[in-house]
Amino acid sequence: MASRVKEDEKNERVIRGLLKLPANKRCINCNNLGPQYVCTNFWTFVCTNCSGAHREFTHRVKSVSMAKFTAQEVTALQGGGNERAREIFFKEWDSQRNPYPDSSNTDKLRNFIKHIYVERRYTGERSSDRPPRGKV
CATH number at residue 7: 1.10.220.150
Report pLDDT for 68: 94
> How far is C-alpha 135 from the chain's CA centre?
21
3-state secondary structure of 20: coil
The average pLDDT across 81-89 equals 96
Residue 74 belongs to some domain of the structure:
yes
Would 136 be classed as within a structural domain?
no
Residues contacting 69, CB < 8 A, separation 6+: 8, 11, 12, 15, 38, 62, 77
In this prediction, residue 3 has a pLDDT band, given cuts at 50, 70 and 90, of confident
Establish if 1 belongs to a structural domain: yes
Comparison of pLDDT for 94 and 128, the residue scoring more: 94
Query: Is pLDDT above 90 for 118?
Result: yes
Beta-carbon contacts of 81 under 8 Å, excluding residues fewer than 6 positions away, are 18, 21, 23, 24, 43, 44, 45
Residue 9 belongs to domain spanning: 1-118
What's the structural domain count of the chain?
A: 1
Confidence of residue 134 (pLDDT cuts 50, 70, 90): very low
Answer yes or no: is 114 within a domain.
yes
Determine, yes or no, domain membership for 129.
no
Judge whether 127 lies within some domain: no
Is 66 inside a domain boundary?
Answer: yes
pLDDT above 80 for 130: no
The answer to whether residue 130 sits within a structural domain is: no
Q: What angle do CA 13, 68, 20 make, to 5 degrees?
A: 30
Residue bearing the bigger pLDDT, 124 or 133: 124
71-87: average pLDDT: 96
C-alpha to C-alpha distance for 115 and 108, rounded to whole angstroms: 10
Short-list 24, 22, 31, 16, CA closest to 116: 31
